[in-house]
């Protein structure tokens, strides 16, 4: 049975129990997967990879108020702890000794909003950071707290939130957090839509038009394969995103360096990341993918 714990004392007890289990002659390794719940196959891919990389897995489920802006969807963000636990106990994903940590905001922030926080720096100010001020600071603050609380050897994050993954990697390096960060490829529906808890907000028509995000990635790759320069590749991406069956508004579409998230230079070649954020109806969606500039 997977153990559900909701406070830090119970979590500490469960981790001690994990540490006490002999790991078959090799050093015991714990993996953590941090989520906001409303789990789908994208989250489960992270848990599956965690299972392969470690003896014990901790999945955290916490809708972190710190990373939502005042006009964002904190109150209506989907929450389904029972459904999440059912998914996690299916398929032999989590087993004996594994832990689900699902704290309330009062457990995570017993003294109210934290006074001392992590700042993401420049990577927290561009693209996602420009449209969601303070978002990545809020993410890094809770990620570092959860790293301290769960003491993992490896922490897994999805490539779906590529800027978040890059910021976490940077934090771990800059602050010497003693663990390995592993990125997991984006899981998509069969038609190409990147899985997201926020897809639940989409009407049938909006979901159809949301496919213009993955369509935009395909258009950009096709242009890059033909040797089109970065400006032209980006123009193709934007055209696919904003066509007749496209999104309602584009927050950003950019070709960036995959680590720094700075825009690639005019005439650049090599690996770049196309990063997209757009609104379909009232829903904000993001997607990204590698583009090889020739």
Residue of closest CB approach to ligand AMP: 158
Minimum gap (Å) between residue 91 Cβ and ligand AMP: 17
Minimum gap (Å) between residue 64 Cβ and ligand AMP: 8
- Catalytic: 43? yes
The helix or strand, by DSSP H or E, that contains position 58, with its residue range, turns out to be strand 56-61
Length of the chain as a residue count = 294
Between 196 and 212, name the residue whose CB sits nearer to ligand AMP: 196
Between 160 and 170, name the residue whose CB sits nearer to ligand AMP: 160
Minimum gap (Å) between residue 36 Cβ and ligand AMP: 4
Between 78 and 232, name the residue whose CB sits nearer to ligand AMP: 78
- Site of interaction with ligand AMP (CB under 6 A): 35-36, 42-43, 45-46, 157-158, 160-161, 184, 186-187, 194-197
Q: Could you tell me the CA-to-CA distances from 128 to 4, 111, 140, 167, 276 in Å, in that order?
A: 32, 28, 14, 11, 9
Minimum gap (Å) between residue 225 Cβ and ligand AMP: 24
Between 3 and 160, name the residue whose CB sits nearer to ligand AMP: 160
Are 57 and 31 in contact, with CB atoms under 8 Å apart?
yes
Are 221 and 215 in contact, with CB atoms under 8 Å apart?
no
Measured distance between the N- and C-terminal CA atoms of the chain, rounded to whole angstroms? 51
Minimum gap (Å) between residue 26 Cβ and ligand AMP: 26
Between 168 and 223, name the residue whose CB sits nearer to ligand AMP: 168
Catalytic residue among 43, 56, 135, 266: 43
CA atoms within 13 A on the CB side of 63: 17
Are 241 and 210 in contact, with CB atoms under 8 Å apart?
no
Are 33 and 57 in contact, with CB atoms under 8 Å apart?
yes
Active site amino acids: 43
């Amino acid at each position: 049975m997977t153990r559900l714990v909701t406070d830090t004392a119970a979590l500490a007890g469960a981790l001690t129990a994990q540490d006490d289990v002999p790991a078959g002659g090799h050093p015991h390794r714990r993996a953590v997967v941090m989520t906001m719940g409303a789990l789908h196959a994208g989250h489960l891919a992270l848990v599956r990879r965690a299972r392969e990389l470690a003896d014990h897995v901790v999945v955290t489920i916490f809708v972190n108020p710190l990373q939502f802006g005042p006009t964002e969807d904190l109150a209506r963000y989907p929450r389904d702890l029972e459904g999440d636990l059912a998914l996690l106990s299916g398929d032999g994903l989590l087993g004996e000794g594994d832990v689900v940590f699902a704290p309330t905001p009062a457990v995570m922030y017993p003294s109210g909003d934290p006074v001392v926080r992590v700042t993401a720096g420049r990577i927290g100010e561009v693209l996602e950071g420009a449209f969601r001020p303070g978002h990545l600071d809020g993410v890094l603050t809770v990620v570092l707290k959860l790293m301290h609380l769960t003491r993992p050897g490896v922490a897994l994050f999805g490539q779906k939130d590529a800027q978040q993954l890059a910021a976490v990697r940077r934090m771990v390096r800059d602050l010497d957090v003693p663990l390995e960060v592993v990125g997991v490829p984006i899981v998509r529906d069969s038609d190409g839509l990147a899985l997201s808890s926020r897809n639940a907000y989409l009407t049938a028509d909006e979901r159809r038009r949301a496919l213009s995000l993955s369509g935009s990635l395909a258009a950009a790759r096709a242009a890059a394969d033909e040797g089109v320069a970065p400006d032209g590749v980006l123009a193709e991406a934007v055209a696919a995103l904003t066509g007749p069956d496209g999104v309602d508004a584009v927050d950003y579409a950019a070709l960036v360096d995959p680590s720094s998230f700075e825009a690639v230079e005019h005439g650049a070649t090599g690996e770049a990341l196309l990063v997209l954020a757009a609104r379909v109806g009232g829903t904000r969606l993001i997607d990204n993918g590698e583009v090889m500039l020739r």
